A and B are shown apart, each in its own frame.
Chain A
Amino acid sequence: MSAAETPLLSVTNLKRHYDVRLPGGLFGTPATLKAVDGISFEIMKGKTLGLVGESGCGKSTTAKLVLGHIPVTAGEIRFDGEKVTANHNAQWRALRRRMQMIYQDPLGALDRRLSVADQIGEPIQIHAPETPKAERDERVASLMADVGLRRDMADRFPHELSGGQRQRVVIARALSLKPDLLVGDEPVSALDVSIQAQVLNLLDDLRQSTGFTALFISHDLKVVRQMSDRVAVMYLGRIVESGAPEEVFRRPQHPYTQALVSAIPTIRRSAVANRIVLKGDPPNPVNAPSGCPFHTRCPSAIAQCKSEVPALLETAGHKVACHLVNNAPAGAGIAAE
């Protein structure tokens, strides 16, 4: 990664809070749900960032914030140097040409009443309505070929396709305008395991052939590992660790990442033997714990963890937000391996 390269997407201190009412009292007690609570990252042109974490940690909210689908509470998102807002005006709509999303549930993301070809051609109709029909059909046909859909499926409707085929339609639709940034929110988690690999390989191939920049969000470490140049681990609305995939998965520093990694079964190591089992469920983000958000479940928490929020500090491209790691002599950590 050369210093001359500019990030295509840079996110600074991003926050998204929701006002909620807890049961109790006449109309409920007002409270704040901190879905995303101050995260920062950058994605260089042509690179892929993988975001992992349990459900409810704020990954999907991050995806929607980055694309300007929902407004931010605080913080800034810059795409190619320009600020991304959630005002759904003409400018926002024009920006969709350059940033697209792949959804978790492909059936829900497709209009049941449009044929496959119409779905894939719709972005062209929206953003380049002057395109002649013949040219559009041609582009749709080549996109279908690119994502591995047979030509005769053009006239089918979403409910007549398999889950994997539907996701291919969504991918083709997202790529129809050659976007610079593609955000995948759990793009394969709704698919059968055998299909997951196919779709992941397809995405990998497409990334190499078209060179889009990507943010991939998944709860599945394997998916993120296969797809990403860098990974970031999220817990309760914060990034707790980030770095190159080999670094993070081979030598996880944060106790939470260590627990996640230990849960992956491998051939060499029996998963049961060394597995770190976390106590309890993630805390309710409405009343997130003070200090380090992980201290309630952390096997090695110390007094400082309860009061002070650990900063995300970098050592040789590997960032960790943990008092135990950052206070310890450089390199020592609490490495589990």
Chain B
Amino acid sequence: MTLELNDPKSIAEDSGSGSVFTAKDRLTAFFETWPPLVLFALFWIAFSAFVVAFAPLIAPYDFMSMDLPSRLTPPVFFGGVWTHPLGTDELGRDVLSRLIISIRISVVIAFLSTLIAATLGVTLGFLAAYFRGRVEQLILILIDAQASMPFMIIALAVLAFLGNSLTLFVILMGFYGWERIARIARGLAISANEQGYATAVRDLGASPWRIYSRHILPNIASTLIVSMTLNFPEVILLESGLSFLGLGIQPPMTSLGNMVGYGRDYIQSAPWIMLAPSVAIVLTTLSISIVGDWMRDLFDPTLK
């Protein structure tokens, strides 16, 4: 994702060498290719990626270390001090450090879950496209059933019956959105099979495994990546919702929803505990949605 951020620079340099356009035209052209909102979203994504990669190094404090004498310190500019830029919580833990770790955990969970959902969805979608007939009908029924139940309810039921652990939680989140990816993968694989190249490779003697993994998958990858991008913010919302209810990530671990959930008790006296992670959630999901929509319009106008 940092790669994408490099592109606008190179384009800016390119247009800098053109002498035909006036400065104003260049600026307009630049913002037409890269809308300000998209630039902002890409910036936030790059920033989050940086935070995810180097979280323990950036965080000024250990996210669990308590400092009771300085508990409920407000953020700087609201009567706080620079040692705790976003203030401290009810146990005197540094909100900024917790926020950094929370972003890391929420993003990593959403990333792993989306990967699981994509793997599951692509596999089932391809199986449906390959076997057709009864296997396809069965997979379509599963897709329908999954799509007709609010996932939150299924997740809550599974958590109630099977208890909670980090592994189970990530796998559970991985079941979110697989049905949409499966539908797309099935549709694309069927149309790929109707196009010449897949048939031609089959007629060369390639095994189905080779046809699907070496030929169809790379050909439909861009569409799949776009739909994965659109799945990602929804997983963050789901994870933070469950963690907010106290049924997702369990303390002493922390995640964005978890921070909001515990911060709501201090909504009157220390609203910053709850507002900081809320802003992080909204910025992250908003940025990824904007970039996802933008990528969809750019690469694949047929996908809605």
List chain A positions with a Cβ less than 8 A from chain B. 67, 69, 88, 93-97, 100-101, 103, 105, 107-113, 122-123, 126-127, 173
Contacts and interface: CB of A to CB of B under 8 A. Distances in A.
Contact of A108 (B196, B204, B206, B210): B196
Contacts of A110: 197, 200
B185 to A, nearest CB: 17
Nearest to B210: A126
A251 B204 CA distance: 39
B201 interface: yes
Nearest to B206: A126
A105 B201 CA distance: 14
Interface of B: 195-197, 199-207, 210, 215, 218-219
B205 A109 contact: no
A111 B196 CA distance: 9
A101 B203 contact: yes
A93 B206 contact: yes
A100 B200 CA distance: 10
B196 A97 contact: no
Nearest to A69: B203
Contacts of B205: 93-97, 123, 126-127
A173 B203 contact: no
Contacts of B201: 111, 122
A67 B200 CA distance: 12
A111 B207 CA distance: 16
Given A111-B219, A113-B218, A126-B210, A88 B202 contact: yes
A88 B206 CA distance: 10
Given A105-B196, A109-B196, A112-B197, A122 B204 contact: yes
B204 A100 contact: yes
A144 to B, nearest CB: 17
Given A113-B218, A113-B219, A123 B197 contact: no
B273 to A, nearest CB: 50
10 contacts: A67-B203, A69-B199, A93-B207, A96-B203, A97-B205, A103-B200, A109-B197, A109-B200, A111-B201, A123-B205
B195 to A, nearest CB: 6
A164 B218 CA distance: 26
B196 A103 contact: yes
Contacts of B202: 88
A122 to B, nearest CB: 6
Nearest to B205: A96
Contacts of A97: 205
A111 B221 CA distance: 14
A52 B287 CA distance: 60
A183 to B, nearest CB: 10
A127 B207 CA distance: 10
Nearest to A93: B205
Contact of B197 (A93, A101, A111): A111
B215 A123 contact: no
A112 B206 contact: no
Given A111-B219, A113-B219, A123 B200 contact: no
B189 to A, nearest CB: 14
Contacts of A109: 196-197, 200
A173 B204 contact: yes
B135 to A, nearest CB: 16
B203 A108 contact: no
Nearest to A118: B214
Contacts of A122: 201, 204, 206
Nearest to B215: A111
A75 to B, nearest CB: 21
Nearest to B196: A108
A319 to B, nearest CB: 30
B63 to A, nearest CB: 44
Nearest to A158: B197
Q: Of B200, B204, B206, B219, which is in contact with the most chain A CB atoms at under 10 Å from its CB?
A: B204
Contacts of B206: 93, 122, 126
Given A93-B205, A123-B205, 9 more contacts: A67-B203, A69-B199, A93-B207, A110-B200, A126-B204, A126-B206, A126-B207, A126-B210, A127-B205
A121 B301 CA distance: 34
